[in-house]
Structure 1
């Protein structure tokens, strides 16, 4: 009995010690995150995180002129000029995937694809493939340590993030200088061109440091979430072959895909993509069920009441995108992947405000949402037109939500080209890409 009593006391003491440790850890973490939150708004801060709202889009702390700049970067005219280049990058990538003898890790390759799209198309950098691969590796180190605790110690994530950011900025500065010196052969204005010219129009000559920060922000905004959504798209097409076949039927009906299965000649156009109603439904359903990020933060501008609780002015609140989609009464069978819920016959998303918000809502909605949807649509069209792919594992992997939604093992898939040309980088494609970067 004595020994049992001592064991009980020991267990209770251990439990109490654990509770104290957890409480202290939470308190310290809270203070560190508050320090980091304040530091991201300090222009002299050397944190590896980009300036802005906790490192996400810089719009939170910028002037009205920059909002106008971003409206130009993602305007209809700009997207029309990006489209042929985006299609070429995706076609080149799918040929590489199809020529790979083994299965590929889709999430890792999607990250490379979106990084390449941001650097080649959005920023117009002419960087050799070997240097681009090195820059991507450094960028991954930067992203992996963005949310590290701000403790500057050797071998800490914070220190690795700082070192990666410094290396990144050196590479970006070299690319920017080369771009500014070589203006020949360009057949479109990329996002960086628009940023530079628009700042001059507003009497704001951007320094090299501002250009590097802006460049890094544009890559950051186009990278993780788009790679997440691209992976989710491929996974759902694998899980639902009937959806893929229905998408192919729409492509045949619109003259994008021959009845025999081969893609028709010519590049895609915005009006062509906007006419693909079922494709739009597929992308919407992917973004509803597999939103890359959980939610966002906002500051209360005016005291209000919600479900009997008063939320004071000045408080920070978080809204949950996933919970909104899961609990919205307008959606039926919320856990079922059903693109037809967005069809004209059903239009479940039209039955109320703020039931569907994969890109946020209000004045702080994601400015790059049209570019993201364009990229996903082109990827879906090229997957349906030029690739055959199958799951390389016995079961589908489980999904994790941190830092963005993605499969835990990255999703192992084997790709096959539909014809002999799919395994080659066509000379005209390579020439067109080099002429536009």
Structure 2
């Protein structure tokens, strides 16, 4: 009996290793490219796992340790395979720079089928070559210095509304879903210039938009009740809404152009939005082309026809939805991470207070700053868990293969919980302009003022360093090319990992320390550009990165001006989940102490007063 068991075990082990060897040889045979000048270079070291499933099971078990253990074993570039998809994972500025700055004919961006279908083929993310360049050029007009400066007043007002609601409610503010709603409001009002008739209309559109975004990372199967079907149906609703809105916007922009008026010079907030700037640029360029045609400069017009043509309605709708998507959950993820770090590192919160005082944005006499709150002469010391307390982060628990399910199971249920328990559902904001218009004194926020607040900039960079909202990005090799000392075969997927790059560059020092980005410790240069990559890099660097920076700074300023103490309502940091964006699984219930007079009771938002379903 023992002999039979031993023989069977030996047979299983032998079959295991033989199957792995056969699978590896098959992959290497397929990776041959005899006509390439790089054919003699080795591919990055690694393990391709078992036939078909690759290393999927190991990744599922190890989670975030999968990358770190292989990086220690193989280096900053290693090969692997997930569900039959062979890929290379790269970490570190030298490799990331080469991937992000590669020519259009070397690598191309790739996205899951669901994202391609929902966002659309016309989106910037799904565009390539000259079309990608042209669309980036057009949409960058919405994020010029003048455009950004014109958004600040509206963004500031919406941030103040949200903080006032947090301060006045007796229920638990769940930071992640609340900041999602705030970034939604900013996206639709500041980016699109869309105003809501009432709260019901706003909440209905928010739920529709959130359904679409949440189901972007679902299985690509279109049947009733599927996540993909829900996303497609939500897309139809939003596109239908955009039809009438774009028609009105085009008419308004045309009238202003004919009158010789520019949005940046207007005092009308209704025209100070990203969509207006984009349409203004498009129509102006088109008018100039027609003028050149009238002057018989026909040859020049023909050469520029493809580059200067106006976007069609479907192209504009798809790129607009993409713009909304980019400024929604990624931003709310970062704002939530900032709150977590402020609670864990109260000294950072106090240093922000000091900088706000320096620039006249915070006064020890709170009557000078918040008319209805009162004064406080002696701030109560902040008590919070030690800064060294760990946050449990499931940081790489997603199958990094296009066209597969990202969200089903673990993350989906937490998202549903968050959406159903948003503080706004019980405490609706009124869109009558009454909230957020307090009696605060101090200088008006401008880009010039914000650029002088160096510590706030350091806080933003450090938040994005240790808790970037997305894991990384995908590329596909269009031809065999050299990466360092290795050969990347045509057709292989390349994944650059943002968090791993940050960890490796700072020797896995994940303590929250904004001073590492002080002028003495951090120099902006070509050498440092790819050490810190939360916005990506190269020709596909985030179009709206300056808009995201602006949202972060305005949110933090209002948070600190409104509250003097932040605490974890459950007494400890929440577990974090990274799919599809880094977020706390419980929504991050917090206990807040408002800036107040000594005779006013604290407004404590106790976590136990609101149960998560």
Coarse TM-score class (shorter-chain normalised):
0.7 to 0.9
Residues 252 and 258, structure 1, Cα contact 8 Å, conserved in 2: yes
Which of the numbers 51, 76, 87 marks the counterpart of 2:121? Answer: 51
Residues 300 and 314, structure 1, Cα contact 8 Å, conserved in 2: yes
Specify the SS of the correspondent of 1:396: coil
Specify the SS of the correspondent of 1:104: coil
| Alignment map for 1:271-290 (pairs within 5 Å) | 271-290=448-467
TM-score (norm 1): 0.81
Q: State how far apart, in whole Å, the 2-side matches of 1:319 and 1:419 are.
A: 47
1:435 is matched with none
Residues 141 and 160, structure 1, Cα contact 8 Å, conserved in 2: yes
Matched, 1:247 2:360: no
Specify the SS of the correspondent of 1:310: strand
2:268 is matched with 186
Q: State how far apart, in whole Å, the 1-side matches of 2:567 and 2:121 are.
A: 41
Deviation, 1:276, is 0.6
Which of the numbers 506, 517, 535 marks the counterpart of 1:342? Answer: 517
Deviation, 1:378, is 0.8
Residues 574 and 585, structure 2, Cα contact 8 Å, conserved in 1: yes
Which of the numbers 217, 222, 229 marks the counterpart of 2:327? Answer: 222
2:584 is matched with 407
TM-score (norm 2): 0.59
Q: State how far apart, in whole Å, the 1-side matches of 2:154 and 2:243 are.
A: 23
The structure-2 alpha-carbon separation of the partners of 1:108 and 1:30, relative to structure 1 and needing over 3 Å to count, comes to: farther
Specify the SS of the correspondent of 1:158: helix
Deviations 1:210-264 (A, max 9, x none): 3322321111111111011010011111111110111111111122222324353
2:391 is matched with none
Deviation, 1:72, is 1.3
Deviation, 1:341, is 0.5
1:144 is matched with 214
Aligned residues: 410
The structure-2 alpha-carbon separation of the partners of 1:48 and 1:209, relative to structure 1 and needing over 3 Å to count, comes to: same
Q: State how far apart, in whole Å, the 2-side matches of 1:48 and 1:63 are.
A: 18
Moved more, 141-150 or 224-233: 141-150
1:354 is matched with 530
Which of the numbers 135, 147, 160 marks the counterpart of 1:78? Answer: 147
Deviation, 1:103, is 1.2
Q: State how far apart, in whole Å, the 2-side matches of 1:318 and 1:149 are.
A: 20
Residues 196 and 206, structure 1, Cα contact 8 Å, conserved in 2: no
Deviation, 1:281, is 0.6
Residues 175 and 588, structure 2, Cα contact 8 Å, conserved in 1: yes
Which of the numbers 532, 550, 559 marks the counterpart of 1:383? Answer: 559
Moved more, 214-223 or 182-191: 182-191
Deviation, 1:387, is 2.3
| Alignment map for 1:176-325 (pairs within 5 Å) | 176-179=246-249, 186-187=268-269, 188-203=271-286, 204-261=309-366, 262=369, 264-300=441-477, 304-306=481-483, 308-312=485-489, 315-325=492-502
Q: State how far apart, in whole Å, the 1-side matches of 2:549 and 2:111 are.
A: 30
Residues 152 and 445, structure 2, Cα contact 8 Å, conserved in 1: yes
Residues 58 and 217, structure 1, Cα contact 8 Å, conserved in 2: no
Q: State how far apart, in whole Å, the 1-side matches of 2:460 and 2:579 are.
A: 22
Residues 563 and 593, structure 2, Cα contact 8 Å, conserved in 1: yes
Q: State how far apart, in whole Å, the 2-side matches of 1:111 and 1:294 are.
A: 19
Residues 258 and 264, structure 1, Cα contact 8 Å, conserved in 2: no
Residues 289 and 337, structure 1, Cα contact 8 Å, conserved in 2: yes
The structure-2 alpha-carbon separation of the partners of 1:174 and 1:101, relative to structure 1 and needing over 3 Å to count, comes to: farther
- What RMSD, in angstroms, separates the aligned Cα atoms of the two structures? 3.9
Residues 114 and 228, structure 2, Cα contact 8 Å, conserved in 1: no
2:402 is matched with none
Q: State how far apart, in whole Å, the 2-side matches of 1:22 and 1:38 are.
A: 18
Q: State how far apart, in whole Å, the 1-side matches of 2:549 and 2:332 are.
A: 12
Q: State how far apart, in whole Å, the 2-side matches of 1:292 and 1:37 are.
A: 17
Structure possessing the higher radius of gyration over alpha carbons: 2
Deviation, 1:139, is 1.1
The structure-2 alpha-carbon separation of the partners of 1:171 and 1:227, relative to structure 1 and needing over 3 Å to count, comes to: same
The structure-2 alpha-carbon separation of the partners of 1:60 and 1:228, relative to structure 1 and needing over 3 Å to count, comes to: farther
Which 5+ residue runs of structure 2 have no aligned equivalent? 17-49, 58-80, 86-109, 257-266, 287-308, 370-439, 603-613
Deviation, 1:176, is 3.5
Residues 298 and 316, structure 1, Cα contact 8 Å, conserved in 2: yes
Q: State how far apart, in whole Å, the 1-side matches of 2:153 and 2:543 are.
A: 21
Residues 342 and 349, structure 1, Cα contact 8 Å, conserved in 2: no
| Alignment map for 1:7-22 (pairs within 5 Å) | none
1:125 is matched with 194
Residues 294 and 322, structure 1, Cα contact 8 Å, conserved in 2: yes
Deviation, 1:96, is 1.2
Deviation, 1:48, is 2.5
2:389 is matched with none
Residues 124 and 319, structure 2, Cα contact 8 Å, conserved in 1: no
